[in-house]
Chain A
Amino acid sequence: MEEHEHRFSLMIILSIILAFILTFVSMALYNSSGAAQLDLSRPGYKDVRSQVVNDDNFQDYSSSGSINQAAINEFVSMYHQQAVKTESVDAFGGDPLSTDALGLVPTSN
């Protein structure tokens, strides 16, 4: 009887260990794959969640068809339009983490 209880306890321990291992592996994959950084459903992103811009407006160039001057000009025009939009934002520019910006050093005045 006591032997059966011990086996049951052992099964519970092994199940918990297995659950930990699987959770650890899945969390490691979630973090290392970059999914965590794109997951705005995480707590703390509530305010910015609604500001995600859908890129449905981004025009797709057709990969089939003949190449002629008109097709090249069409692509150049589409590409230029998107390139200007893309480069218009200085993403991750500035220095919001500078010691001055964060108030981590005494002000000079």
Chain B
Amino acid sequence: MRITNKLLIFGFVTVALISGLAFLPVFAQNTAMTDQQVQLIRDNCVSTKNTLNQLHSSDALLRVNRGQIYESMSTKLMEKFNSRVSSNGLSNSNLVLVANNYSTALDTFRADYIIYEKQLTLSMNIDCSKQPIVFYDAVALARNERSQVHADVLKLNQLIDQYQASVSQFGQDYQTAMQGVKQ
């Protein structure tokens, strides 16, 4: 197999291009803004970036801490109780249904947080003094993604309450059944 100098040069150029492409950012501009607004973004660029950095860190901590708790609600309580009810030969279909919905909501929360974190990181990497409009749009998208994460949290809380109500109902049904057996 003959390898020419041209082929070698082509190889090196290809490697250089592949490594360069990995760092190319992609942005879109679409917001119409006044010159005053654009100037304001430029003027507040440093302080805005600092705020975003702090929020990025505090939200990451919140994600880890809340994520652990939401995970534990499912694995340490719901699944355990469902399993115990099932192993005693009692009907737990409603409990399983709510627990499954909770697991799905937890998956959605995880996925939406990833989307939000990526969008926030993207915003932080934009130079707001040079690209104020692109920065503004990126922050707006991050804001929407964050509100989606908040909606996911509310959904999880709602399902936690729903499971609690289902357990109470199960308790009442159990009590009624036991009274029936005694009579």
Contact = CB atoms under 8 A, between A and B. Distances in A.
A and B pair up: yes
Contacts of A38: 60, 63-64, 67
Contacts, number: 184
Given A34-B114, A48-B58, A63-B83, A53 B68 contact: yes
Name the prevailing secondary structure of the B interface residues: helix
B171 A9 contact: no
Contact of A86 (B7, B80, B84, B160): B160
A1 interface: no
Q: What's the interface size class on B, roughly?
A: 35 or more
Interface in B26-57: 36-37, 40-41, 44, 47-48, 51-53, 55-57
Given A72-B167, A91-B150, A103-B48, A96 B139 contact: no
A79 B69 contact: no
Nearest to A23: B22
A22 interface: no
Q: What's the interface size class on A, roughly?
A: 35 or more
Given A48-B58, A92-B150, 16 more contacts: A10-B7, A40-B60, A48-B61, A53-B68, A58-B68, A61-B76, A61-B84, A65-B84, A67-B174, A69-B171, A82-B72, A91-B150, A93-B150, A95-B147, A101-B51, A105-B37
Interface of A: 3, 6-7, 9-10, 13, 16-17, 20, 24, 31-32, 34, 36-38, 40, 44-45, 47-48, 51-53, 55, 58-67, 69, 71-73, 75-76, 78-80, 82-83, 85-87, 89-93, 95-98, 101-106
